[in-house]
Structure 1
Amino acid sequence: MKYYSTNKKAPMATLHEAVVKGLAGDRGLYMPESIKPLPKEFFDNIDKLTFQEIAFTVAKAFFGEDVNEDDLKNIVYDTLQFDCPVVEVKENIYSLELFHGPTLAFKDVGARFMARLLQYFIRQEGKEQVNVLVATSGDTGSAVANGFLGVDGIHVYVLYPKGKVSKIQESQFTTLGKNITAVEVDGVFDDCQALVKSAFMDDELNKHMKLTSANSINVARFLPQAFYYFNAYARLKAMGKADEMVVCVPSGNFGNICAALFGHRMGLPVKRFIAANNANDIFYNYLQTGKYEPKASRQTIANAMDVGDPSNFARIYDLYKGDHDAITSLISGATYSDEQIRETMKACFDTTGYTLDPHGACGYRALSEQLQEGETGVFCETAHPAKFKETVESVIGAEVAIPERLAAFMKGTKQSVEMSKEFEDFKNFLLKR
């Protein structure tokens, strides 16, 4: 499979090149030149398959031409050592719990898959160390850091906005050491993302060290997230609830919903999608007006979605050839203030007993408001509520237990490098490494 740039000004790339480069030379995002539909028989029998079996079938459609089948199966099964259950919250609304991985966040799958795939390519060619740059607004950093921890031949630099991630999130990537370096940037997430993109475009830096990204701009990070939606369909099909399936994805950088849309293009029978935003409503406004107007991100209690210029919009725009009508016919939007998110968390807990985190609350509320008669809604509960313990407890008035593996991170010692948001400072730091 070849990969082209969304900006259409860079040469076609192999999967290996797309994964190692992360970003195309023209600053575009890599897209597969074709998306293979899966056979009817797969969907007919999907409810009888395990999560791992489903994911392997999907992975072969994406990566089967470029990765040995046995190795790909090992990568998939090593990545998915946990399940992602579908839990009924109230009638016709289900939570797809994506927080059962090592760091209790949905990004665990993409991060671990990419780590294993990158390691596969490094071993094949015996090349020098690869340096992974990742910007995080919350959960990406912890998922990538833990997914790559101890992987030979790879060093990870996690860039995060100072004071704008939760203490638990911060502890998951600042206490690891080994091949993980945390970089605390005096700015917002968009500044961190700009530093990463600028590093990829700097010739001197790229001659000094081999760079790639583990943000959802990397095809190996976002594509495996499609596994979730096939699994959700399978579990609902087993309940007899999959015929009018609506998927709602809390969205920040839009990698997760982009993966779901790729799944839809492969034949996954989702009726329609809802992109739920917090106060960072750039995509919501695009749906209403047809104009994409990035702006500075706003800090909210759903911090992993605090993105003012979502990178993966370029992929969605490309996937539908810039046709606004085609996009809005399949995707609707929603945007919620912190006050509305709190209201939703409280109301859901009081009426159903289910504890939402702030991000999942956006998805749950959007379904509650937009679901139509006869439809079944699935929203992504993207992170365990304990990752936002103080916020959640203050809203619902009840204690949120911290899972043991999350509590273990809090016992570590913070190690981070303070950094300004100026690229020259970051470049000089890397040149000394």
Structure 2
Amino acid sequence: PSIWPIIGDEIPDNDLQEIIIDAYPFTAQTVPIDPTTYVLELHHGPTCAFKDFGARFMARTMSYFNKDEDDVLHILVATSGDTGSAVGSAFQDVPGIDVTILYPKGKISPLQEKQLSTFTGNVRSLAVDGTFDDCQKLVKTAFTDSDLRNNLRLSSANSINISRLIPQSFYYLYSSLVVRNRAPRDSRIDNPAIIFVVPSGNFGNLTSGLIAQKMGAPISGFVAATNANRTIPDWIATGNYKARPSIATYSNAMDVGSPSNYERIINMYNLDEVRSLFASYWLDDAGTLQAIKNCHTRTGYMLDPHGAVAWQAWDDMRRGGMEALLRGEDFDHTKPGLTKNIPSWAQKIIEN
């Protein structure tokens, strides 16, 4: 498995294999919906969230390293929706670990709130009067509070913890290999340019894809697809990063105005490299609803609002958007759609 070079000899092979088997009684499904489009289904875990992949591996490795400790390890988590449920489920009844989840009151779905409010024992959830960014700020402040850290062993299960992102890179490696092997049959493309269009909020998922690419996954590039919380598209378009309060949208798990993984991205790449590697796109709520309808009408596949943002980004690109960029047409980044940067792989979209 791709995790072994990262783990090294920290966990014996047999123990690591047991952790992997226990963490993943489910798989990521790579589902073709038209000859050149695949949906990477990440909802087959116990909480129906892609973060089950990261949280379950993290919980088991933390439990492994914590087993000989006398003091409880306290996990602090901020959630905009699905992180909290996945983390709560993953750490439920894990000995020696307590979990506190902060979520914005009234700003997550009823199903997510039901999941969060029914954990017991070592997992508790607290509703915060504010936004996800407020919850995230509270968590980050706790980690910089020396008095608190002197009295409690603290860690996080958000994507600020790299152990959440590394296991999420696994499904990028797996699915890119699946598509590379299937494409000659599905679309008669022998050497496909594999582009991941990633619905993005805090940008942890996309950062996991960047890690996978650096580990050798055959990925040509990425599309950062956001809702109206367009902090990253605006940065890519203008070069100015300006965090802002998040606003509520239908794709609520992406409602992040100050994405913490921006700091990771700029430590991996400079802005010119980001513009070469990423296409950037944002969509409002009206466009999201239309995307759900359009995808179902044309393919029979029903998307959730988060996936709909990504699908519309891909559909706009292949139906003339990328060609318009290459012709030099100007794009207004303040309106839904692509930003004007041209990624290095743009020509391959037109050719395929």
Q: Taking structure 2 as the reference length, what is the TM-score of the superposition?
A: 0.87
CA distance in 2, matches of 1:85, 1:253: 23
1:120 aligns to 2:59 (yes or no): no
Question: 1:244 — aligned with what?
Answer: 193
Q: Is the 8 A contact 1:64 1:72 kept in 2?
A: no
Q: Is the 8 A contact 1:133 1:156 kept in 2?
A: yes
TM-superposed deviation, 1:234:
2.2
Q: Is the 8 A contact 1:250 1:277 kept in 2?
A: yes
Which of 79, 89, 101 is residue 136 of structure 1 equivalent to? 79
Number of equivalent positions: 315
- 1:2-151 correspondence runs (5 A): 57-123=1-67, 125-151=68-94
| CA deviation string 1:229-280 (max 9, x = no partner) | 1111122133135621111110111111101001111111111110100000
Question: 2:314 — aligned with what?
Answer: 367
1:334 aligns to 2:278 (yes or no): no
Q: Which has the higher contact order (CA 8 A, sep 6+)?
A: 1
Q: Secondary structure at the match of 2:183?
A: coil
Question: 2:225 — aligned with what?
Answer: 276
Residue 346 of structure 1 aligns with an amino acid whose one-letter code is: K
Q: Secondary structure at the match of 1:311?
A: coil
Residue 92 of structure 1 aligns with an amino acid whose one-letter code is: T
Identity %: 43
Question: 2:97 — aligned with what?
Answer: 154
Residue 171 of structure 1 aligns with an amino acid whose one-letter code is: K
Question: 2:263 — aligned with what?
Answer: 314
Residue 246 of structure 1 aligns with an amino acid whose one-letter code is: I
1:170 aligns to 2:113 (yes or no): yes
CA distance in 1, matches of 2:319, 2:208: 24
| CA deviation string 1:264-299 (max 9, x = no partner) | 111111111101000000110111111111111111
TM-superposed deviation, 1:372:
7.9
1:343 aligns to 2:287 (yes or no): no
1:267 aligns to 2:216 (yes or no): yes
CA distance in 1, matches of 2:177, 2:279: 24
Query: More deviation in 72-81 or 225-234?
Result: 72-81
CA distance in 2, matches of 1:180, 1:108: 16
CA distance in 2, matches of 1:238, 1:96: 15
| CA deviation string 1:160-195 (max 9, x = no partner) | 000000010111121021111110000000000000
CA distance in 2, matches of 1:203, 1:271: 43
Residue 163 of structure 1 aligns with an amino acid whose one-letter code is: G
CA distance in 1, matches of 2:5, 2:169: 11
CA distance in 2, matches of 1:62, 1:104: 27
Which of 273, 287, 292 is residue 241 of structure 2 equivalent to? 292
Question: 1:393 — aligned with what?
Answer: none
Q: Is the 8 A contact 2:75 2:157 kept in 1?
A: yes
1:198 aligns to 2:111 (yes or no): no
| CA deviation string 1:53-111 (max 9, x = no partner) | xxxx2111222243222222222222121111111122311100000001011000100
Residue 253 of structure 1 aligns with an amino acid whose one-letter code is: N
Question: 2:326 — aligned with what?
Answer: none
CA distance in 2, matches of 1:66, 1:197: 27
TM-superposed deviation, 1:137:
0.3
Residues 65 and 288 of structure 1: CA distance in aligned 2, closer, same or farther (over 3 Å): farther
1:212 aligns to 2:161 (yes or no): no
Q: Is the 8 A contact 1:173 1:180 kept in 2?
A: no
Q: Is the 8 A contact 1:146 1:173 kept in 2?
A: no
1:301 aligns to 2:250 (yes or no): yes
TM-superposed deviation, 1:329:
0.5
Residue 149 of structure 1 aligns with an amino acid whose one-letter code is: Q
Q: Is the 8 A contact 2:177 2:218 kept in 1?
A: no
Q: Is the 8 A contact 2:169 2:208 kept in 1?
A: yes
| CA deviation string 1:327-358 (max 9, x = no partner) | 11011111000010001001112222211000
| CA deviation string 1:341-389 (max 9, x = no partner) | 001001112222211000000111111112389x9xxxxxxxxxxxxxx
Say what the alpha-carbon RMSD is for the aligned residues: 1.5
CA distance in 2, matches of 1:371, 1:78: 40
Residue 100 of structure 1 aligns with an amino acid whose one-letter code is: H
Q: Taking structure 1 as the reference length, what is the TM-score of the superposition?
A: 0.71
Q: Is the 8 A contact 2:177 2:217 kept in 1?
A: no
Query: More deviation in 282-291 or 83-92?
Result: 83-92
Residue 287 of structure 1 aligns with an amino acid whose one-letter code is: I
CA distance in 1, matches of 2:286, 2:5: 42
